[in-house]
């Protein structure tokens, strides 16, 4: 009898489904052309909006390019109510006029800083942040956020230290020089980054990817080289992952959802010089739910995924909802993508949550 009643209590206590305000993805790579058409529907199925990264080839450096790109994104998600939020790619030559035009456009919501050479398609990025003062001044004035890929490119700096050194050499001086500039420290990976964000005022926030919450750097070397766990910033040691879990689990509004889902064809990942990027858009919200449940913070998921991002950007929260069911789903080994294969995170494995259609 005692066993039976305990079983019933357990059954009631175990969450079987959760309904959330429709979430947004505050850091996403959609690419262009056929790849865009293959991957965009995954995001539109889960998220209402996404901040779309501008690191195309050529990069989206002007409002004119962003106008053309947003049309292609909208065509790729036709028939859905998904809203792409566009970004401009900051260069040494971005003018204050271009920033003004971006702000006026209303559909460009931020400007992305890629230090030149830091990551995928960053060759056109910034060689010295001092060259961007006029643009940054205008962004500060307009309230247009700067989204930061926070890694130094100095080859003398250990790859695992590049985020921390970026804080000391670039981000700290930048926040001092532009005290009113809104900044999102993208895809943070270290306790140093989490602490930095916490120490700053409300104008500095951070996105946290699900892969940096799920894995530490061992995941890149488990039984051999694991190219599908290679991204930038690279996965860090366990104590840093724990700091990220603590940051999101604490329910602090400075930390919000940004997948950094980045599609690369299988053959380009499994190569002698594999590309950086992890594709998570196929099951992003279910993966975050799995992480939040594992740390006993499912009650914090909705604000992280659906409230803190729009609050930071000064945009309205979504009004619709999605429901996740405690129902296992098996992740496919790959998806077709522009005549190639795309290997998603957790390919061939099972996860406990499924988005209700």
Query: DSSP letter at 299?
Result: G
Residue 25 lies near Zn ion (rule: CB under 5 A): no
Instruction: Find all residues with CB under 8 Å of 254, minimum gap 6, and list them.
Output: 197, 198, 202, 204, 205, 206, 308, 312
Structure tokens at 244: 């990220």
Residue 277 lies near ligand DOR (rule: CB under 6 A): yes
Minimum gap (Å) between residue 170 Cβ and ligand DOR: 16
Assess whether 260 carries a catalytic annotation.
yes
Number of residues that bind ligand DOR (CB under 6 A): 11
Minimum gap (Å) between residue 37 Cβ and ligand DOR: 17
Residue 322 lies near ligand DOR (rule: CB under 6 A): no
Tell the residue number behind the tokens 């307009």, with chain if given: 142
Residue 209 lies near ligand DOR (rule: CB under 6 A): no
Residue 261 lies near ligand DOR (rule: CB under 6 A): no
**Gap between the Cα atoms of 203 and 314, Å rounded:** 11
Number of residues that bind Zn ion (CB under 5 A): 1
Among 124, 138, 163, 260, contact with Zn ion (rule: CB under 5 A):
260
Residue 315 lies near ligand DOR (rule: CB under 6 A): no
SS3 335: strand
First-to-last alpha carbon distance for the chain, in angstroms, is: 38
Contact 35, 268 (CB under 8 A): no
Among 48, 61, 87, 119, contact with ligand DOR (rule: CB under 6 A):
119
Structure tokens at 202: 């409300």
> Catalytic pick from 24, 25, 192, 260?
260
**Gap between the Cα atoms of 63 and 54, Å rounded:** 11
Among 22, 27, 29, 103, contact with ligand DOR (rule: CB under 6 A):
29
Enzyme catalytic residues: 260
Report the interface residues with ligand DOR, using CB under 6 A. Answer: 29, 55, 119-120, 149, 231-232, 260, 262, 276-277
């Amino acid at each position: 009898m005692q066993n039976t009643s305990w079983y019933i209590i357990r059954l009631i206590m175990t969450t079987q489904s959760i309904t959330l305000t429709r979430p947004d993805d505050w850091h996403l790579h959609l690419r262009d052309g056929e790849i865009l058409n293959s991957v965009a529907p995954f995001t539109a199925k889960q998220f209402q909006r996404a901040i779309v990264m501008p690191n195309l080839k050529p990069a989206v450096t002007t409002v004119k390019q962003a106008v053309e790109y947003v049309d292609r994104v909208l065509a790729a998600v036709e028939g859905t109510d998904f809203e792409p939020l566009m970004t401009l790619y900051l260069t040494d030559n971005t003018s204050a006029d271009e920033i003004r035009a971006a702000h006026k456009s209303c559909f460009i919501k931020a400007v992305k800083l890629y230090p030149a050479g830091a990551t995928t398609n960053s060759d056109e990025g910034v060689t010295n942040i001092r060259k961007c003062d006029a643009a940054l001044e205008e962004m500060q004035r307009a309230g247009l956020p700067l989204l930061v890929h926070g890694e130094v490119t100095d080859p003398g700096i250990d790859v695992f230290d590049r985020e921390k050194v970026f804080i000391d050499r670039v981000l700290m001086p930048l926040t001092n020089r532009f005290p009113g500039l809104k900044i999102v420290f993208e895809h943070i990976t270290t306790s140093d980054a989490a602490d930095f964000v916490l120490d700053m005022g409300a104008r500095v926030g951070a996105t946290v990817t699900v892969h940096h919450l799920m894995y530490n750097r061992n995941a890149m070397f488990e039984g051999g080289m694991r190219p599908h766990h290679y991204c930038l910033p690279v996965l860090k040691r366990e104590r840093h992952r724990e700091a990220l879990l603590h940051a999101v689990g604490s329910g602090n509004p400075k930390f919000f959802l940004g997948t950094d889902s980045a599609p690369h064809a299988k053959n380009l990942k499994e190569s002698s010089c594999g590309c950086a990027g992890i594709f998570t858009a196929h099951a992003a919200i279910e993966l975050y739910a799995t992480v939040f449940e594992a740390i006993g913070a499912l009650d914090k998921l909705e604000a992280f995924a659906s409230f803190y991002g729009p609050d930071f950007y000064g945009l309205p929260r979504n009004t619709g909802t999605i429901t996740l069911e405690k129902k296992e789903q098996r992740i496919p080994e790959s998806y077709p993508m522009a005549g190639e294969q795309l290997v998603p995170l957790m390919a061939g494995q099972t996860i406990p949550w499924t988005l209700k259609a």
